[in-house]
Amino acid sequence: MFRIGQEEINAVARVIESKQLFKVNSGSLQESKNFEKELGEKFDVKYPILMTSGHAALVSALIGMGIGPGDEVIVPAYTYIATPMSVVAAGAMPIVCEIDETLMLDPIDFENKITPRTKAVMPVHMQGYPCDMGKITEIAKKHNIMVLEDACQAVGGSFKGKRLGTIGDAGALSFNYFKVISAGEGGALLTDDRTIFERGLIYHDSSAIAYFGNQMEEFSTQPFCGAEYRTNEITAAIMREQLKKLDGILFDLRKNKKLLMEEIAPYFDFVPSNDKDGECSTTLTLKFKSEEEAKRVSEKSEVGITIPINTGKHVYTEWTPILEKKGALHPLMNPFNMEENKHVVYSKDMCKKSLELLKTAGHIFIKPDWTKEDIKDIAKKLIDAVK
């Protein structure tokens, strides 16, 4: 969480004083409804749904797309385990794809991994960097594949001027504590597709939307059993204030990242970007010549360089429930045991290129409130470490 203060305290207080904490209510505040309206306007998307997490948004979107047993969804080798788990939650199979030099999903390997079972691809905008959405959407369109953007780590970022999460058929945002804007937990599904919206809304609220208010008044989709990802008015009130701060946070992150890059550019190489102007700039990623150099500079610099291969559940080799095909506690509910899905095979060396790239990169996490003195101090430590 970058910035939170009195505005959020006041927002929570007004909800508690109203005694209208439930999402659907007859009060005057209507925090959830207003947040979704404001989010839709800022991201220029027709149908935003606030819910409990980014994972909830991913699952709801996949259900909205009609994804299920027998289907394959392509995911990158470098993403948090919630991404492939959302595919399993829909009953489908995650197919692990290489990343390229940007550390984002590799469009070439994406196309190579397409089979007659492939129904969707999930480009993940890791560490605030945009995927190459131009190539990805072009390939997806050619093969009649849906695109679900995981923009959970890149809220507010863009590709060629369009907000991440709004370029594909649907997108997911996260408002977890570690994200650009936050209520501690939370997420949102974004889509312009009416069918995905209706199905996603029904699924995320266990069909309760049929019983609270008039949410299904103009729906053509019939109710079905779903989950319980409905949020509340306190979360929505906090997020309304956080949304106001988004552009200011991004401006300062981008400014500070640029200043740091200028200071250390003569001494370091940087991982290439698919759209420098669209980055959230939460992260500056260094590119080292070898795994040994990455380790040495990381240990010596004392500025908190994170080698991505060491980030646990963000690397496919550490997705233990996926690799061991434990998609559910009860074997009869485990999608990996379904006849339609038994063809999928995983191994820890299935994306060797990705593993090598993740060993030779180093993330430095940017803060929007750094001073120029802070940046010069960090730059000096990095330069001293690499000499």
Q: What distance lies between CA 56 and its chain's CA centroid?
A: 11
Q: What is the pLDDT of residue 172?
A: 98
Q: Is residue 31's pLDDT more than 80?
A: yes
Closest CA to 351 of 106, 153, 146: 106
Q: CB neighbours (10 Å) of residue 234?
A: 17
Q: Is residue 207's pLDDT more than 80?
A: no
pLDDT band at 58 (very low <50, low <70, confident <90, very high): very high
Q: What is the pLDDT of residue 213?
A: 83
Q: Would you state the structure tokens that stand for residue 232, as one six-digit string?
A: 């509340």
Q: What is the pLDDT of residue 214?
A: 85
Contacts of 68 (CB under 8 A, 6+ apart): 90, 91, 92
What is the mean predicted confidence (pLDDT) over 53-60?
A: 98
Q: What is the pLDDT of residue 103?
A: 98
Q: Is residue 210's pLDDT more than 80?
A: no
Closest CA to 100 of 358, 339, 310: 358
Burial grade of 345 (CB within 10 A; 0-12, 13-18, 19 or more): exposed
Q: What is the pLDDT of residue 144?
A: 98
Q: What is the pLDDT of residue 387?
A: 85
144 to each of 66, 115, 295, how far by Cα in Å? 14, 11, 43
pLDDT in tens, 113-158: 999 999 999 999 999 999 999 999 999 999 999 999 999 999 999 9
pLDDT in tens, 263-319: 999 999 999 999 999 999 999 999 999 999 999 999 999 899 999 999 999 999 999
The interaxial angle of helices 54-64 and 82-89, nearest 10 deg, is 40
Q: What is the pLDDT of residue 206?
A: 86
Report the chain's mean pLDDT, rounded to a whole number: 97
Gap between the Cα atoms of 352 and 355, Å rounded: 5
Q: What is the pLDDT of residue 47?
A: 98
pLDDT band at 248 (very low <50, low <70, confident <90, very high): very high
Q: What is the pLDDT of residue 368?
A: 98
pLDDT in tens, 157-187: 999 999 999 999 999 999 999 999 999 999 9
Q: What is the pLDDT of residue 346?
A: 98
Share of residues in the chain with pLDDT > 90 (%): 96
Backbone angles phi, psi at 382, to 5 degrees: -70, -45
What is the 3-state secondary structure of 306-332?
ECHHHCHHHEHHHCHHHHCCCCCCCHH
Q: Would you state the structure tokens that stand for residue 148, as one six-digit string?
A: 């679900």
Q: What is the pLDDT of residue 152?
A: 98
Q: What is the pLDDT of residue 129?
A: 98
Cβ–Cβ < 8 Å for 35, 187: no
Q: Is residue 35's pLDDT more than 80?
A: yes
pLDDT in tens, 324-336: 999 999 999 999 9
Q: Is residue 57's pLDDT more than 80?
A: yes
Share of residues in the chain with pLDDT > 70 (%): 100
What is the mean predicted confidence (pLDDT) over 60-65?
A: 98
Q: Is residue 385's pLDDT more than 80?
A: yes
Closest CA to 82 of 131, 39, 122: 122
pLDDT band at 215 (very low <50, low <70, confident <90, very high): confident
Q: What is the pLDDT of residue 229?
A: 97
